[in-house]
A = this chain, B = another copy of it.
């Protein structure tokens, strides 16, 4: 699955989720491997419906069902959140190029002091340095970076429910 979303600005048409979509998402937020039969029973619909809806949500990239780990505990010793400042109008394009780098697990455009927040997962110091110098700072429009090196991940949760 290709995790990057390259939406044009404003192009959020047709993202409305049906109430059933939302109930399915909530079930899978609790447990990504919950059998479709069980979800179907709880929601009072057929298993085929649950399966079809789920597949459609994944195809539309609204939902990923994944095994999530703490990288610091499986051998990636140098994770960091990196605050990025971009030149003037390169912001969205730079964010999309950053999202294509394999070391990047998370990228968000923010309204605050940093233009983009980038989470990166590296094995050690030299890998983080290579990432910064040979990749991130080569992207056109990236002007400044400040890394917040992780010492410990205290929480990762995906059970927000829906609205």
A30 CB to closest chain B CB, in angstroms?
A: 7
CB distance from A29 to the nearest CB of B (A): 5
Complex partner residue of A112 from B4, B64, B108, B146, CB under 8 angstroms: B146
**Chain B neighbourhood of A70, CB < 8 A:** 5, 62
Main secondary structure of the interface of A (DSSP, over half): mixed
Chain A residues proximal to chain B, CB less than 8 Å: 1, 3-5, 7, 9-10, 12, 15, 17, 22, 25, 27-33, 62-77, 80-81, 85, 87-89, 91-92, 95-96, 98-99, 104-114, 116-117, 121, 123-126, 128-130, 132-134, 137-138, 142-144, 146-160, 162-163
26 A-B pairs with C-beta separation under 8 A: A4-B155, A5-B155, A9-B134, A25-B69, A65-B68, A66-B68, A69-B158, A81-B117, A85-B144, A87-B143, A89-B134, A95-B154, A96-B154, A108-B151, A108-B152, A109-B129, A110-B148, A110-B150, A111-B150, A111-B151, A112-B148, A113-B113, A113-B148, A125-B152, A126-B151, A128-B151
